[in-house]
Structure 1
Amino acid sequence: MNDKVKQDDINKALWDACDTFRGTISADTYKDFILTMLFLKYISDVWQDHYDTYAKQHGDSPELIEALMNSERFVLPRDASYYAIYARRHEAKNGERIDQALHAIEEANGTKLKDAGKSVFQDISFNTDKLGEEKQKNGILRELIEHFDKPELNLKPSRVGTLDVIGNAYEYLIKKFASNGGQKAGEFYTPPEVSDLMSELLDPQPGDTICDPACGSASLLIKCGARVRTNHDSKSYALYGQEAIGSTWALAKMNMFLHGEDNHKIEWGDTIRNPKLLDKNGDLMLFDIVTANPPFSLDKWGHDDAAADRFGRFHRGIPPKTKGDYAFISHMIETLKPASRGTKGGRMGVVVPHGVLFRGSSEGKIRQRLIEENLLDAVIGLPEKLFYGTGIPAAILIFKKDKIDSNVLFIDASREYKSGKNQNELSPENIAKIIATYREGGSVEKYAYIASLKEIQDNDYNLNIPRYVDTFEEEEQIDLVAVREQRLALTAQLDALEVEMAGYLKELGYE
């Protein structure tokens, strides 16, 4: 990357673009405009950069240039580019022109921006009354268009170098929107350090198929892919996901593209009610890695139809009507590849609220079955206030289809974090300690404990971490005789000072 280009400068310029909308509409609404405009500006800059290169090489053959541009990873109709929109920014109907450009881009790129008839930009319209009456709306959009013309937002590869710069900028924006998004933020965003931890725990390998059935903006999937590239210098993996919320599914598709992840399949739909990731026989696809940060204790998750589930995902029991945590866990377990001779079984990591560890009734029965089947490998307690939209602490459950013993590792990492103003964070050192402890698989005083199946059974299959990891700190004993002697000595010193002060006051004429 060009040394003159700084990620922070790009990030700041993007966040400043939000000033265009502040005071007019909520962040939850304008985030779609900002992220979509970033996408449009990026593909336009890439297209223009490549066109300029081909023009230098083949300036005397416009037909060849046109053919080369049509074979690009992404096709951009000339009238649909950011530059075409910028050139007409002072004219009326900016919103209508942007919407038409987005539609033309979708049509020119086949299935890249579509899924079963739904398009990425279907729920995003710049020509909306939310921006005010036509004159006001046109002015706001003109300001937005002009903001993306800033030198800092020149995103041409010849200037910024790598896709990571754009992917990082996109992730930065999503994080900023999440931190300001309150309760809704958890619908589309997993904090980056939690994604880092999950991807490292699951250790994706070349050739792995990786799935997130509640993928949000796909940051966790992207981290898993990046782990394969970084650790093994390989792009031999495939990413799969499903997302129920249409606008969030659109974020995931754009996020994948901006990170250069072409080998992916992200479906739109409700994973529990209507799983879309199916094989050619119509059965659930099976994966090497399944990982997710599903919505905590989701109400109305599809309880009434669970008993008749055609995939048989709830054979261990049907979760309670108002808490869908074990619905997602059950689905994820059923999509893991089985262990077979010469083939490792699938592995899984899922973020859950602590109630999943100890709640009784139907959840207790499902938990017992999972433990008796020797699927649970580890329980990792996380600090509070890590996740956007909730302050409660969470845990990571690791499941494996090919365990070599019946023990379960418990890690209590709840007290080790970097404190922030509104959110806590896991530092690189916190993450490294969890990873090292998990890989070594042994007990660590006041931090980790290897529990046998017998111990878990004796605890009635309750997985509450304090039952296994003793973090009790004895209070230091106080020597009352020594404390009394110190108090007497201090009293004597105070008396002496009072006498000395009285002498000074007397010399100065004060009684």
Structure 2
Amino acid sequence: MSQKINQKDINQIVWNACGTFRGVIDPSQYKDYILTMLFLKYISDVNKEKRSEYLKKYNNDEIRTERALKMERFVLPEHCGFDYLYEHRTESNVGELINIALADLEEANREKLSSEDGSGIFRNIDFNSSNLGEVKDKNVRLKNLLTDFSALDLSPSHLEREDVIGNAYEYLIANFASDAGKKAGEFFTPSEVSTLLAKLTKSKSGARICDPTCGSGSLLIKAGREVGDNNFSLYGQEQNGSTWALAVMNMFLHGFDNASIRWGDTIRNPKLKEG
């Protein structure tokens, strides 16, 4: 069995991958590309491991395997998976292929990856954008990005601990915030502050925890961890569409699949009202 990936390894690999965009676009912009790719790589590796398990269980019966995979956390059409994109990393339209993969992934998982009005979490990100450079340069950058992430095996059996993916996501957000300076306030609360606030809530088992301006969701996650068991519910609302998308992915990467994260202005259009 190959050595399991630890927190230090994954943090280093994903942070090094950021070099693809440094000097081309601001950290406040390229964070979305890196975090989206981490999310896609994670669900792709989970899907690949589940596929292997089902093929073994059903004696290589593809039909039964596909049926079982449709009951998993995410439905992953073949052309939406990381491996497919990596195989096509040298194509002249690689940016367009990534965009198509993300759009179709949203469509296949509409209830999980879209807001109430149908807007998907990837709607604000464009891997084919001219902001990434002229066509030749852009294609090289995307090829390098896919190559960097190919070094990671994020399948559950290959992780040293189950929380390393979520922690890596938080690590990236914190580092992006440091690079982004004053713009970071839109999506990040410093760890020391969020930890203190989480402790002050003194949430107990059965708690329903709500953050009406949740940013990327870090405070919600820490507040949930303070409960001490899994008997709690998380609710959040975020006005900025890109930051809302980060929060949704953050919840999934931490295993909080049932968290309710809404997109919209909490003052003008509160979506977490009761009664």
Tell me the TM-score normalized by structure 2. 0.95
Structure whose residues are more often strand by fraction: 1
Task: Kindly report which structure 2 residues correspond to 1:116-127, keeping only aligned pairs within 5 A, or say none.
Answer: 116=116, 117-127=118-128
Equivalent residue, structure 2, for 1:275: 270
Instruction: Quote how far apart the aligned CAs of 1:4 are.
Output: 4.4
Q: What is the identity percentage for the equivalent residue pairs of Structure 1 and Structure 2?
A: 53
SS in 2 for 1:166: helix
| Amino acid of the structure 2 residue aligned with 1:141 | L
Distance 2:4 2:137 in 1: 37
Distance 2:154 2:179 in 1: 26
Is 1:237 the equivalent of 2:225?
no
Gapped runs of 5+ residues in structure 2?
none
Distance 2:230 2:140 in 1: 44
- State the Cα deviation string for residues 3-56 of structure 1 (Å, max 9, x = none): 742211110111100111112111111111000000000000110011111112
Does structure 1 retain, via aligned residues, the 8 Å contact 2:208–2:233?
yes
Instruction: Quote how far apart the aligned CAs of 1:59 are.
Output: 2.4
| Amino acid of the structure 1 residue aligned with 2:266 | T
Equivalent residue, structure 2, for 1:188: 187
- State the Cα deviation string for residues 90-124 of structure 1 (Å, max 9, x = none): 11111100010001111111211111222100111
SS in 1 for 2:101: helix
After superposition, the CA RMSD in angstroms is 1.4
- State the Cα deviation string for residues 206-252 of structure 1 (Å, max 9, x = none): 11111001100000001111222xx2xx3221111111111000100
- Give the number of the structure with larger relative contact order, counting CA–CA contacts within 8 Å between residues 6 or more apart: 2
* Residue 257 (structure 2) aligned to one of 248, 258, 262: 262
Equivalent residue, structure 2, for 1:67: 67
Instruction: Quote how far apart the aligned CAs of 1:161 are.
Output: 4.8
The structure number with the bigger radius of gyration is 1
Distance 2:8 2:60 in 1: 40
| Amino acid of the structure 1 residue aligned with 2:258 | N
| Amino acid of the structure 2 residue aligned with 1:113 | L
Does structure 2 retain, via aligned residues, the 8 Å contact 1:163–1:258?
no
| Amino acid of the structure 2 residue aligned with 1:200 | K
Q: Relative to 1, partners in 2 of residues 1:163 and 1:108: Cα closer, same or farther, differing over 3 Å?
A: farther
Instruction: Quote how far apart the aligned CAs of 1:60 are.
Output: 3.8
Is 1:82 the equivalent of 2:85?
no
Equivalent residue, structure 1, for 2:247: 252
Does structure 1 retain, via aligned residues, the 8 Å contact 2:78–2:84?
yes
Structure whose residues are more often helix by fraction: 2
Equivalent residue, structure 2, for 1:222: 221
Does structure 2 retain, via aligned residues, the 8 Å contact 1:80–1:101?
yes
Does structure 2 retain, via aligned residues, the 8 Å contact 1:213–1:271?
yes
Does structure 1 retain, via aligned residues, the 8 Å contact 2:237–2:263?
yes
- State the Cα deviation string for residues 436-484 of structure 1 (Å, max 9, x = none): xxxxxxxxxxxxxxxxxxxxxxxxxxxxxxxxxxxxxxxxxxxxxxxxx
Tell me the TM-score normalized by structure 1. 0.52
Equivalent residue, structure 2, for 1:202: 201
Task: Kindly report which structure 2 residues correspond to 1:66-465, keeping only aligned pairs within 5 A, or say none.
Answer: 66-116=66-116, 117-150=118-151, 153-228=152-227, 231=228, 234-279=229-274, 281=275
Greater alpha carbon shift after TM alignment, 188-197 vs 77-86: 188-197
Runs of 4 or more, structure 1, over 3 Å off, are none
Does structure 1 retain, via aligned residues, the 8 Å contact 2:3–2:158?
no
Q: Relative to 1, partners in 2 of residues 1:66 and 1:4: Cα closer, same or farther, differing over 3 Å?
A: closer
SS in 1 for 2:215: coil
Does structure 2 retain, via aligned residues, the 8 Å contact 1:267–1:276?
yes
SS in 2 for 1:181: helix
| Amino acid of the structure 2 residue aligned with 1:92 | S
Distance 2:249 2:92 in 1: 28
Instruction: Quote how far apart the aligned CAs of 1:82 are.
Output: 0.3
